[in-house]
Amino acid sequence: MKQQMILPCIPRGATEINNVVGVFRDDNTWTYFLGGYPINFHKADDWKMFRVITSQLIESGGCRQVDIINTFGVSKSSVIRYQNLLKEGGPAAFFKPRAVKSGGRILTEKVLAKAQSLLDEQYTRSEISLKLHIKYDTLRKAINDGRLKETKPNNPSVTTKSARNVEDARASFGMGTACTRVEDRVDNVFGFGEGALIRFEPCLDVPKGGVLCALPALLQNGLLHGVKGVLGKVGGYYRTLHILLLLAFMSLCRIKTVEQLRGHAPGEFGNLLGLDRIPEVRCLRMKLDQLSVDDSAKQWATHLSKYWMESNPTAAGTLYVDGHVRVYHGGKTKLPRKFVSRERLCLRGMCDYWVNDATGNPFFVVEKIIDPGMLQTLLNDIVPQLLQDVPNQPEQEEFTANPTLCRFILVFDREGYMDFL
């Protein structure tokens, strides 16, 4: 007799493992189909049953190893290992408890009781391993084999990084990963909204969450001072506040360029700003162009310089000027060669003159592609800007009438660099 073939009918909404086997996954249950008939199911977090069912599908010829690897994203070694386990011991081998080695254990009964109490108090695994002076992997193995039980958060609204990643991947809606605030985005597209609303939600294990501790210091230092009247106008979902906070957090996280944001999860970084996600790299570049239109970024830097000097006039009474050579490694132009002390070579670059207060905090910087020297830069660029930014100077009238009458003191340090007081 000719063997009856199974029609390649996969139920709607199911993920296709191959042309005859599929799986339907929801939040609670995974159901496996052979053709249009359900053949097995298990809970979403029951990994033992997942290994049993997938190994049985491979062993019975329902699918191949590569189908399981590509569909579920598991490693080839784990698929082979559990298939061999099924051959040797059958399905019962997957549910045998691991044998606990006797003698020389680090996790004694006393340590286990202390670790369990810390887990009940919602301490993280890293914090428990530091408190009890045990390795992280030792604690992880004890949780996996059932000696310790990791309780879930009391607040069901608190999300973890894994759950947020799954939600961000599902909730794209054609707008991009982690775009979960669809209504707000649509309103701003049609001009009805006033930008994204900053709304923080309870979350666990947020990457780089420690930068929020520096937010009060950033605001105290004038991060948002004068942005409305100086910087350019930004419309749409992301406004000036969001862009400046993002740039500040990038600096604290040692993210030096906008392009490097591609290597960070947009939804997780958005949690630091109280948003669903940060802007995409191309969108962020466009926003930066809007903020810096008509040289407004330089004007804002000058505004902040005046603000810092007025906030601490005592520190502004003594100023230090330090020159640094910034080496140019490109090939689009040929800049003049300058001696770079750290390289002990004459290399192409430009000179930056940083003006700092008595405590070393920077006020502003003067860039010189053609460097006339520190004395000329002091006389023609730095001193006039200081007289303009720091009013009521005793020699302001004399310098305005005759710049050569300005008196200043030059101090050389041990390495021969010149400072201005």
The 10s digit of each residue's pLDDT in 77-111 is 999 999 999 999 888 888 887 765 554 478 888 89
What three-state secondary structure class fits 321? strand
The pLDDT value given to residue 238: 92
Integer CA distances (angstroms), 106 to 101, 113, 120, 140, in order: 11, 13, 20, 13
Residue 338 CB: number of other CB atoms within 10 A? Answer: 19
Q: pLDDT band at 413, cuts 50/70/90?
A: very low
Under DSSP, is residue 172 helix (H, G, I), strand (E, B) or coil? Answer: coil
Beta strand 320-327 with 345-356 is: antiparallel
In total, the chain counts a number of residues equal to: 421
pLDDT surpasses 90 at 242: yes
Q: What is the CA radius of gyration of the chain?
A: 32
Nearest CA to 228 out of 291, 308, 293, 307 is that of 291
CB half-sphere exposure, 95, CA atoms < 13 A: 7
Mean pLDDT of the chain: 82
- Considering only CA atoms, which of 221, 218, 169, 195 is closest in space to residue 274? 195
pTM of the complete model beyond 0.75:
no
Burial class (CB in 10 A: 0-12, 13-18, 19+), 257: exposed
- 125 pLDDT higher than 90: no
> Each residue of 3-61: pLDDT tens digit?
455 555 666 778 888 888 888 888 788 889 887 788 888 998 888 899 999 999 999 88
Percent of all residues in the chain with a pLDDT value above 90, rounded to a whole number: 21
Highest mean pLDDT among 74-78, 307-311, 355-359: 74-78
Greater model confidence, 316 or 256: 256
| pLDDT for 144 | 87
Q: How confident is the model at residue 404 (pLDDT cuts 50, 70, 90)?
A: very low
In angstroms, rounded to a whole number, what is the distance separating the alpha carbons of residues 382 and 191? 44
Higher per-residue confidence, 403 vs 44: 44
Task: State residue 233's pLDDT score.
Answer: 87
